[in-house]
Structure 1
């Protein structure tokens, strides 16, 4: 980092991040301004920003969100989310903590089968309706679901986008993730439930009158368009199957989501304008700006220099290297989105695996995956699911502040990453 562009890129990124933290301007405006400055100083250019897989906008993420937002927009018109909200509340006997536990478990399990972004797009509308019916503050429930989505997404290859990058680079299979990370993910989900009982304890206020009103409702009456519901669920089932069969079909999730959205609009009576009106355009713009800013750090060599310093610090010590990679990944994934971070770290981790473990041991890959996935819970911009939920909350006039999220996220990240460190030590250096 000897040239002025590298230091300028660092200054732009740090300045933008400070503005986002301070909430002095809207985060979308800050991200787009930061991206514009990166382009202005030529830390990156149009070719890298818009076409590079390594340092440009990750269009797979953007179009995955676009397609799923359109599908969710159509499903909202059927009354399905009202149905699910009433059903969930009645099963939990309208007790606030039981409702949160149910939503956490549903989110964690669904995030292992789908990707975590798709899961929060589906579960957030239900949560908004549940909290409205019971008179509960929605922010704690949404934050808990973000944590659950990132923890549950750790379990499988398709659960979190960084896992797909790691699997491709390391030659890992869907079953490898199930064997090595799914048990830990299940434990961490239970831990999250315990933490939520403590962190959000002031939010579990039981309103007997509202509870009785919801318990008296008939959920089937919430369905407004049964035919559109059947069509929407059929398309959603096909899309989910496409996600799960990614290792076989080799269609990117973005392609599957766009095909599903187009099919649903084509075969149903839903208007294209109605489906597009539900798209969180500010969220997509924020992602684009964030990707371009991180791309500027990649193009100027800042991230590779930091990553190389990490590699030099690890040396030939596998246990120490695993711990350092785990914690460093958790820290950096809280600062930059974990997708570009993992994309940058993957080739360096590959070299470390060859040099430290002789290429036969995958413990360093699991350390990278756990650090990146769980570290994404630390801040609102640490993972894609976080940004999506913040956009949904803002659109529904219940904005989540940067520090409001982070004060809980840091606790959950510290606990889950700490337990993961113990898991790595016990699983790969004691029992093995």
Structure 2
């Protein structure tokens, strides 16, 4: 790392990160302020920040979120989320831990089929209503769902945005991810349920009176607009099909989401300004600022230098390379959002795979480290940021440290088990 731009960019990033952790100012203000400073000191410029795919704002992520937020905003007007909340509580008999298990499993499965950001956008409103009905704090349930979304999203090519980057760079198919990552993802989901039972044990207080009240409700009465509900579900189904058929249709998830949002607004009678008010604009602005800051670190060579140092430390051992890549990616993805990290690390991993004779275990180590490492901190993955934004908007804010104190434990356990999985499957019994 050379030149004052590199050190200045690193100093700005560390300062902004400290502000986000301290929560002295809103995180969106910190991220946008940091992005402005990066531009002011010429650590990046307008071309790199706004137009460059590798060092600028990831517009695919921004517009994917925007499209799904619009769809969710329309569905919220139908009463669907109230219906699902009452249904879930009744099936769990009002028992908080059973509710959490249902939500965790549902989130993990849906994150594998859709993507984890879309899933948390759909599940979070249901969770807030469930907790309101049962008089429970929403934060533990939302945090558990974030963990489940990142664990479940690891299983498939479309489940987590970093996987799409890895598949593109490594020439990997949807089935490759299923064969190699679905088994460990399923195991880690079960482990996560056990961890949730321990980590959040204080919130599993059964309120018999509230549970009885909910059991008397008829979830069908929650539906306020059946016509709009049918329209919304049809469009959502089409969007899901578009995500799943990405290898055939070759439409980016962001394009599919925007087409779905546009179609739903066009065919329904909802007021466009009312729908746009449901969009989490501060969350989108936070992502934009974060992408610009990380892009500046890439532009000035900071991340590249760190990645090369990691590659040099791997040596010639495939096992050593896989372990360093797994744990190194987990650590760095907790600090820097895992999307730009993987975008930077993918070319280096491609060279390592080629030098090792095409050993794809390095790709799986990168995917597991980046996807699971995203659980470590509140800004480690896109789903984390989205859920924290939803919680803040609903006046149930989750602090950086409240999330991170649980995230570090979950990440340590899941990454350690992934290391055992990689060793057993690709080395011990290869």
Q: When the two structures are superposed, what TM-score results if normalisation uses the length of structure 1? A: 0.99
| Aligned equivalent of 2:388 | 390
Tell me what 2:398 maps to: 400
Structure 1, residues 2-21: CA drift from partner, whole Å, max 9, x if none? 20000000000001001111
CA displacement at 1:24 relative to structure 2: 1.0
Q: What is the Cα-based RMSD across aligned positions, in Å?
A: 0.4
Which residue of the partner structure matches residue 338 of structure 1? 338
Distance 1:162 1:406 in 2: 21
Over residues 180-208 of structure 1, what are the superposed CA-to-partner deviations in whole Å (9 max), with x where a residue is unaligned? 00010000000000000000000001110
The answer to whether 1:293 aligns with 2:293 is yes
Aligned equivalent of 2:365, options 367, 388, 391: 367
Counterpart-to-counterpart distance in 1, 2:286 and 2:244 = 28
Matched, 1:45 2:49: no
C-alpha separation in 2, matches of 1:178 and 1:80: 31
Distance 1:306 1:192 in 2: 31
Paired residues for 1:32-71 under 5 Å = 32-71=32-71
Gap runs ≥5 in structure 2: none
User: Counterparts of 1:137-152 in structure 2 under 5 Å?
Assistant: 137-152=137-152
Query: For each residue in 1:89-109, what CA deviation from the matched residue of structure 2 results, as whole angstroms up to 9, or x when unmatched?
Result: 111111000000000000000
Deviation string 1:161-181 (CA, Å, 9 cap, x unpaired) is 000000000000000000000
Partner deviation per Cα, 1:348-377 (whole Å, 9 max, x = no partner): 00011111x212x20000000000000000
Distance in 1 between residues matched to 2:380 and 2:116, nearest whole Å: 13
Partner of residue 313, structure 2? 313
Where does residue 350 of structure 2 map in the other structure? Answer: 350
1:377 and 1:2 map into 2 onto residues whose CA distance is 32
CA contact (8 A) 1:74 1:274 kept: no
Quote the Cα distance in structure 2 between the aligned partners of 1:80 and 1:2: 55
2-structure distance, mates of 1:142, 1:368: 26
- Structure 2 CA distance for aligned equivalents of residues 396 and 24 of structure 1: 20
Question: For residue 426 of structure 2, what is the aligned residue in structure 1?
Answer: 428
**Which residue number corresponds to residue 248 of structure 1?**
248
Between stretches 161-170 and 270-279, larger displacement belongs to: 270-279
Contact 1:146 1:385 (C-alpha < 8 Å) held by counterparts: yes
Distance 1:236 1:353 in 2: 38
Cα distance in structure 1, aligned partners of 2:315 and 2:77: 56
Question: 1:223 deviation in Å?
Answer: 0.2
Task: Provide the rounded CA distance (Å) in 2 between the counterparts of 1:274 and 1:184.
Answer: 42
Q: What is the TM-score when the length of structure 2 is the normalising length?
A: 1.00
In structure 2, the partner of 1:235 is 235
Q: Which residue is 2:117 aligned to?
A: 117
Counterpart secondary structure, 1:262: helix
Aligned to 1:28: 28
